[in-house]
Amino acid sequence: MNREYFVVDAFASEPFTGNPAAVLLDADGLDDVRMASIAAEFNLSETTFVLPPSEPEAADSGSDAPGLSVRFRWFTPTAEVDMCGHATIAGVHALVETGRIPVKGVGETSVVHIETRSGLLTAYVERIPGAESGRMIWLDLIDPILTPQDLSLDEFADALGLSAGVFDRSLPPIRSQDRDALVFVGDAAALNNARPDFARLMTLLERYDLRGLSLATTNTLTPSINVQSRFFAPTAGINEDAVTGSVHGPLAAYLVQQGSVPVHEGLAGLTCVQGIPDRRAGLVNALVQPLDGGGYAVRIGGRAITAMTGVIVV
């Protein structure tokens, strides 16, 4: 049968910026092997497969807001993953483009409940005032879990093609629940100068049982940007990802935890940029709410735009 697909640039307002993800609508009936083959054929960092929820009555049980319920599965070219932020934004965008999610007026929100391997997610679609077709897609992430991560920074510096002196010692490395290490350098120049030896970096990540490395700085080129970052995940088949939505939950929460971003009336707002130097970059908005008793709730948001559409015969 023919199945419609989209290639969507997430965290982008113009085509061929941000982070591309393939989205295959109506993936019901595909087995794991066929999904893996399709993702390898697209050869993008992630492919989203949209399926009916396995438990429709439970999909929206965590929210008072009724909305569409779906199930997402995400595959890299080499493996299935538990969570992917930019491919979720892309999947919701494709559902909007096909009319499965109605876009309401300014000031109103459409809700999507998403069943995933990492738990239930909720996404919100808002119309941007003054932009006829502009939409912001927000995603409530799983609450970040941050634990200290002891790393040999000298070895990581060598693998990244940097000197050990570039690291920001005021922000020690931290580990997220997704097995990503968050490591900070002193400025944007050091961030952009990183030229990883991916074979060496993969060996280090495997040694520490890490999925990926978020290299970031708070010393950005403009005060309007709170944090700039790059993300490397050669162990997951992605040497460098253009914009990684899921890592911005732990990244934003950590900066609030460390006092790098102020909290006003119980909420902190961050503007984040991630990109591959001289290639692609995208903008991620993050809202962080400190929770009673510790911990943080994080919502990330961004725009998306369709770059390609087509039909796959499987």
User: Could you tell me the two tokens for 24?
Assistant: 């295959």
Q: Is 97 a catalytic residue?
A: no
Report how far Cα 29 is from the mean position of its chain's Cα atoms: 27
- Asked whether the beta carbons of 228 and 273 are under 8 A apart, the reply is yes
- Integer angstrom CA distances of residue 299 from 88, 216, 245, 308: 13, 19, 10, 27
Rg of the chain (C-alpha set)? 19
From residue 162, how far is each of 31, 129, 166, 196 by CA, in Å?
43, 43, 7, 9
* Cα gap 137→96, rounded to integer Å: 10
The catalytic residue among 14, 41, 46, 80 is 46
Q: Which residues pair with 257 in a beta bridge?
A: none
β-bridge partners, 229: 216, 274
Residues identified as active-site? 46
